[in-house]
Structure 1
Amino acid sequence: MTARPSPGDLLVIDGRASVQFAGDRALTFRVVSMSNQPTYHGWIWLTGYVLDRRGEATAKREVYVQLAGLRSARASETAARRTAPSRRASSYARRHDQDSAATGDRSGLRAGGDTG
């Protein structure tokens, strides 16, 4: 991404954008604003929010990065992570339902006033 980012853009900021974000320090970043402050050629100050794996903002930051190193992040991937049920939770539910059906145990299905 060599064009200047716009507010609302979702970016991957990693070691390509600046060495301070290399390896496990990489960020998914939602741009809020760009500074017009003079910088070295090809560099820019960005203000925005760091997003976690679920796409939720965890911190507001100002970062100094190379335009040529910025990559667009796919919003659909972040949203999919946010809405996808955990594999562990869904496999537990299926296993629990199968166990109840096989044994005829319907104790979890009693109505609140049912004493049994």
Structure 2
Amino acid sequence: MRSAAATLPRSGEVLVLSRAASVQFAGSNAILARVIRHHDWPTYDGWCWIDVYEITPAGDAVERRCVFVQVAGLRVVADPRDRGRRR
């Protein structure tokens, strides 16, 4: 998870959106998402609006969404498309 003074998510990052990010992702509603962009819309301190692609565990985009999340609750994970790529 990001710290309270965390930076905003960057385009291309893959996140797990769970209850830590917002109650809308409680229980089995957690999703894997690739960040498209964050909006600079005024909001509560520590929260932001982001555009994401909801993705499958294989990394395929299934739906575009705009979500309101708590920045400290965002968890960055490895991009599923990187599996099998050499470093």
TM-score class, shorter-chain normalisation, is: 0.7 to 0.9
* Inter-partner Cα distance in structure 2 for 1:22 and 1:52: 18
* Inter-partner Cα distance in structure 1 for 2:41 and 2:23: 21
Stretches of 4+ moved more than 2 A in 1?
Answer: none
Structure 2 residue aligned with 1:5: 9
Alignment of 1:63-82 (within 5 A): 63-75=67-79, 78-79=80-81, 80=83
Q: Which runs of 5+ in 2 are unaligned?
A: none
In terms of fraction of residues, the more strand-rich structure is: 2
Structure 2 residue aligned with 1:17: 21
* Inter-partner Cα distance in structure 2 for 1:64 and 1:74: 22
* Inter-partner Cα distance in structure 2 for 1:72 and 1:22: 18
* Inter-partner Cα distance in structure 1 for 2:45 and 2:59: 31
Q: TM-score, normalised by structure 1?
A: 0.65
Shift of 1:35: 0.5
Tell me how many residue pairs correspond in the alignment: 79
Of all paired residues, the percent bearing the same amino acid is 39
In terms of fraction of residues, the more helix-rich structure is: 1
Residue identity matched to 2:36: V
Q: TM-score, normalised by structure 2?
A: 0.85
Mark the structure with the bigger radius of gyration. Answer: 1
Q: Which runs of 5+ in 1 are unaligned?
A: 84-116
Which fold has the larger relative contact order, with Cα–Cα distance below 8 Å and residues 6 or more apart in sequence? 2
